[in-house]
Structure 1
Amino acid sequence: MKVLSRIFSSIHGVIAVLFAAAALVLVFVAARIAWTAVSGALDEGAAQGVIEAIGVLAAAVVALQIAQTITEEEIIRGVDISAPTRARRFLSRFMVVVVVALAIEGLVAAFTAIHEDLAELVYAAALLLSTGALLAAWGVFIHFNREAEELEPEAMRKTKQEDRKLDQ
């Protein structure tokens, strides 16, 4: 079973590296978009380019956060996320980044629609409303999951000990 666990950890490591590499590529793409936008006239087009670069950077943050989460949870800690405390913490780390990235994308889409095509504003609004619904659903999950955690106080103590080990 230990061999199988090491194989899975190695696969998770490869996936984490690929997410980190994707994040770096996105950072370079965002930098190029921003540079292209501001190298010309500093006008409304430049502002749109910078706003687009911010959207790409938001995707880079998501990719990098996923890489970090995979590395910490699956490789360094090597924990099973079946316990309510671990599941909530794992999902919360991921959801924070996803919700923020989607909100940024929604704002980028709204700014773009306002300046280019007002008909596209409906899609931006749908994205922002969906992001709000996702945030509300996450809050409900945390609420119900917290009640389950109270049934397993030992799991919370174990999770906090793992966090202290990771910080060292």
Structure 2
Amino acid sequence: MLIVGLFFICGIGLIVLAAVETWGALDPRTDFKVRERFELILECVGLLTIAVASLELGQTVLEEEVQRSVNISSPTRVRRFLSRFLIVVVVSLSIECLIGVFQFMHGKPEYLLHSAAIGLAAAAILATWGIFIRMNVSAEELEPHAMREVVAEDKEVEG
């Protein structure tokens, strides 16, 4: 439960930092050039991306470990937990890749390869995740009762 709380505190803290940075970037009293404001706002998008990832991971841990008191032996549960985690990772990496491309496209094009590497990592994770899910289907067919238990548990938690 402590880890869940820390995820939520970190997420909210990052949102507050992003709000302060956004105000600094948009404040008409500052003498920033448009390019500087743009870069500050892109940094805020990065902060918000990490904040959302932190909040989502906190929610995932809360739902899977605390509310459902998960027994991780079921292939369905493992797939669901990993899927929720990997969604956060892939989306976060993809957004960071886009932010990097926008930042480095005009200012420091030599760093575009770093952004491309992040994008390739996100694509590789997505592809291997798809392979994992495809291979996991046969394991789920061997344990149909586990799938029924997970569905019943979902209805109980959600409703």
For residues 4-43 of structure 1, the aligned pairs below 5 Å read 13-39=1-27, 40=30, 43=34
Amino acid corresponding to residue 57 of structure 1 in structure 2: L
Amino acid corresponding to residue 141 of structure 2 in structure 1: E
CA distance in 2, matches of 1:74, 1:42: 48
Q: Report the CA distance between 1:31 and its aligned residue.
A: 1.1
CA distance in 1, matches of 2:23, 2:73: 45
Q: Report the CA distance between 1:25 and its aligned residue.
A: 0.6
Which residue in 1 is equivalent to 2:66? 75
Q: Report the CA distance between 1:75 and its aligned residue.
A: 0.9
Q: Report the CA distance between 1:23 and its aligned residue.
A: 0.3
State which of 48, 51, 67 in structure 2 corresponds to 1:60. Answer: 51
Q: Report the CA distance between 1:88 and its aligned residue.
A: 0.2
Unpaired runs of 5+ residues, structure 2, are none
Q: Report the CA distance between 1:42 and its aligned residue.
A: 7.0
Which residue in 2 is equivalent to 1:3? none
Which residue in 1 is equivalent to 2:138? 147
Deviations 1:11-46 (A, max 9, x none): xx0110011000011111111221111114572222
Q: With the length of structure 1 as denominator, give the TM-score of the two structures.
A: 0.89
For residues 115-134 of structure 1, the aligned pairs below 5 Å read 115-134=106-125
CA distance in 1, matches of 2:36, 2:63: 41
Aligned residues: 156
Which residue in 2 is equivalent to 1:100? 91
Percent identity, aligned pairs only? 42
Q: Secondary structure at the match of 1:68?
A: helix
Q: Report the CA distance between 1:107 and its aligned residue.
A: 0.6
Deviations 1:113-165 (A, max 9, x none): 11220111010011101110111011111110112111111111100111101
After superposing on structure 2, the runs of 4+ consecutive aligned residues of structure 1 that deviate more than 3 Å are none
Unpaired runs of 5+ residues, structure 1, are 1-12
